[in-house]
Amino acid sequence: MFNFILFGPPGSGKGTQSVKIAEKYNLVHISTGDIFRKNIREKTPLGLKVQSIIEKGELVSDALLIEILGDALNQHSKARGFVFDGFPRTIQQANDLDTLLSKKNESVSLVLSLEVGDDEILKRLLKRAEIEGRKDDTKEVIENRIQIYNKQTQPLIDFYKNKNKFQALHGIGGIDEIFAGICKIIDKHI
């Protein structure tokens, strides 16, 4: 299996690129943010539980995340591999993912980070707020999400560097240009 993590701050283009990667390499795209938004739209018990957390830009609990991930992996037991988008976001989640994958005799294959600075992110997310009207794209919430990313998610860079699984790519440019850069790196590892 090829288990790929597309890493990067909110607004770095992970969602757009993950869809393209999953399609090209025939992998299953797992976006935890999309799973939550769908549940909120459908007002499921999970949706009701996480709605206010997400609207504040905070992180949903690690315990809930690993439950969701376990379900998603089981639903796609025949997958050729996965593109994880927006997961893991904490060291605990990364350890939990290793445990889940090791039960299938699998592991994380590669982590690729899209590098985009805070100012550019703020600009992009404010623009997305106008277009998509996401409730967690207000200026205050965006700043909170960036802060949480820097504090809780960035430590994952060293976590994966220590495992020799980490690569970074400059995330500013056209969608196709960045996609080509990502594919070049994947092709060396797949």
Judged by the rule CB under 6 A, the positions of this chain that interact with ligand AMP are 10, 32-33, 36, 53-54, 57-60, 65, 86-89, 93, 136, 145
* Tokens standing for residue 118: 């805070």
Q: How far is the CB of 161 from ligand AMP (least distance, A)?
A: 20
Cα 139-89-99 angle, rounded to 5 deg: 165
Q: How far is the CB of 164 from ligand AMP (least distance, A)?
A: 23
Q: How far is the CB of 88 from ligand AMP (least distance, A)?
A: 6
C-beta closer to ligand AMP: residue 69 or 184? 69
Q: How far is the CB of 187 from ligand AMP (least distance, A)?
A: 26
- Closest residue to bound ligand AMP by CB: 33
CB-based burial label for 174 (10 Å; 0-12, 13-18, 19+): exposed
C-beta closer to ligand AMP: residue 10 or 171? 10
Verify cis geometry, omega within 30 degrees of 0, for the bond prior to 88.
Answer: yes
CA 90/CA 19 separation, integer angstroms? 23
Per DSSP, what are the bridge partners of residue 110?
4
